[in-house]
């Protein structure tokens, strides 16, 4: 008997945000932040690289910390829907003459073959993969709840939520259109510059979440900056408790708790003391099940309310306060794999 999926081939698709690999100048400080404070599980440590996941994630990792001089983002990784999609995406990139390289299994521990390329219009290093190990947590960390890969600990980040990346206003329309046309992201909410067709910000998803990826214009004309990576908390009350705890610690505090008008989630921004990358603790928000969702446009005059419905205004400068946050040149693509 054939199943529906045997009879109908939708082509390659992205299933979810998978993981992010960030450079940190001080891996011990970053481990203190992500593992001991946020409550992530350190799944594996290979020298200067640590692999972590949240308490409701079964895949090997959603965060890779690489100790290195440049606290740049080494890779934004997305998981495909089917194993064969990795090669199908690779073929698509080749057909578009976009430089892409195959990364062998194990390049990131626990992960299968991936394809790596720089986002057209953005130059952010993207990686697509499907295979990922699902190791059991150490017995000392296991939960009795089968839907938890480990016991809830620390501030209780339960899964990676989204990436917010920036690119130059002159190229943002290309980047935003490319991820929609080629990776299947759907535009959910967006804003354009006043009296212009240029995207100022766009929130997009491949899941029912209101966004898995946001692309925002960078006012310094830089083409590859990260604004933040976000982890999901279960509830607004978790965000408030996190703020209370974080205020008493030596952690650089950004903004929040506050509520976004766009997406209607609660935000709290802090900085990892090892890498200085901005991390959002994100809770709530609405889900989209409507297959013909009409993207919601925010006019420039209302945009501040979209960013902050209530709470502290958000710092819109790049992630680790002006320093480059992602590799920006095509050279980086090959240098990384050399």
Instruction: Enumerate binding residues for Fe ion (CB under 5 A).
Output: 164, 230, 280
Nearer to Fe ion among residue 230 and residue 270 (C-beta): 230
Neighbouring residues of 328: CB distance < 8 A, sequence distance ≥ 6: 123, 222, 223, 224
Nearer to Fe ion among residue 55 and residue 282 (C-beta): 282
Nearer to Fe ion among residue 57 and residue 280 (C-beta): 280
Helix, strand, coil percentages (3-state) for the chain, rounded to 5, are 20, 35, 45
CB of 280 to Fe ion, least distance (A): 5
Nearer to Fe ion among residue 37 and residue 230 (C-beta): 230
Query: What dihedral angle (degrees, nearest 10) is formed by the CA atoms of 237, 241, 247, 248?
Result: 170
What is residue 135's DSSP assignment? P
* Local structure of 170: helix, strand or coil: coil
CB of 33 to Fe ion, least distance (A): 18
Sign of torsion over alpha carbons 326, 332, 337, 338: negative
- Say if residue 313 is exposed, middle or buried (CB neighbours under 10 Å; 0-12, 13-18, 19+): exposed
CB of 203 to Fe ion, least distance (A): 9
CB of 231 to Fe ion, least distance (A): 10
Neighbouring residues of 244: CB distance < 8 A, sequence distance ≥ 6: none
Nearer to Fe ion among residue 119 and residue 230 (C-beta): 230
Nearer to Fe ion among residue 171 and residue 211 (C-beta): 211
CB of 120 to Fe ion, least distance (A): 23
CB of 182 to Fe ion, least distance (A): 23
Nearer to Fe ion among residue 93 and residue 230 (C-beta): 230
Nearer to Fe ion among residue 72 and residue 230 (C-beta): 230
How far apart, in whole angstroms, are the C-alpha atoms of residue 252 and residue 65? 19
CB of 284 to Fe ion, least distance (A): 12
* Local structure of 189: helix, strand or coil: strand
52 touches 32 (CB < 8 A): no
CB of 103 to Fe ion, least distance (A): 27
Count of CB atoms within 10 A of residue 112's CB?
17
How far apart, in whole angstroms, are the C-alpha atoms of residue 55 and residue 146? 11
- Say if residue 220 is exposed, middle or buried (CB neighbours under 10 Å; 0-12, 13-18, 19+): exposed
How far apart, in whole angstroms, are the C-alpha atoms of residue 146 and residue 126? 32
């Amino acid at each position: 008997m054939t199943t529906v999926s045997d009879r109908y081939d939708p082509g390659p698709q992205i299933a979810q945000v998978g993981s992010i690999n960030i450079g940190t100048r001080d891996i011990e400080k970053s481990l203190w932040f992500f593992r001991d404070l946020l409550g992530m599980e350190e799944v594996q440590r290979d020298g200067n690289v640590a692999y972590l996941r949240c308490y409701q994630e079964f895949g090997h990792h959603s965060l890779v910390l690489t100790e290195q001089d440049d606290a740049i983002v080494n890779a934004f990784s997305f998981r495909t829907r089917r194993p064969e999609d990795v090669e199908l995406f690779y073929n698509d990139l080749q057909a578009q003459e976009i430089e892409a390289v195959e990364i062998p299994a194990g390049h990131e521990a626990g992960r299968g073959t991936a394809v790596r390329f720089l986002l057209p219009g953005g130059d952010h290093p993207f990686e697509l993969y499907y295979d990922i190990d699902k190791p059991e947590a150490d017995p000392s960390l296991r939960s009795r709840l089968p839907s938890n890969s480990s016991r809830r600990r620390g501030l209780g980040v339960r899964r990676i939520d989204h990436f917010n990346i920036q690119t130059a206003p002159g190229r943002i329309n290309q980047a935003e259109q490319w991820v929609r046309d080629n990776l299947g992201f759907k535009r959910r909410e967006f804003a354009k510059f006043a009296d212009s067709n240029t995207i100022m910000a766009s929130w997009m998803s491949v899941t029912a979440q209101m966004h898995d990826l946001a692309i925002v214009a960078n006012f310094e004309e830089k083409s590859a900056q990260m604004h933040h990576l976000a982890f999901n908390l279960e509830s607004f009350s978790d965000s408030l408790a996190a703020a209370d705890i974080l205020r008493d610690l030596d952690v650089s505090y950004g903004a929040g708790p506050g509520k976004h008008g766009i997406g209607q989630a609660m935000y709290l921004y802090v900085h990892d003391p090892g890498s200085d990358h901005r991390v959002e603790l994100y809770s709530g928000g609405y889900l989209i099940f409507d297959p013909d969702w009409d993207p919601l446009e925010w006019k420039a005059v209302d945009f501040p309310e979209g960013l902050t419905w209530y709470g502290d205004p958000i710092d819109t400068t790049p992630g680790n306060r002006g320093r480059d946050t992602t590799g920006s040149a095509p050279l980086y693509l090959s240098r990384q794999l050399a």
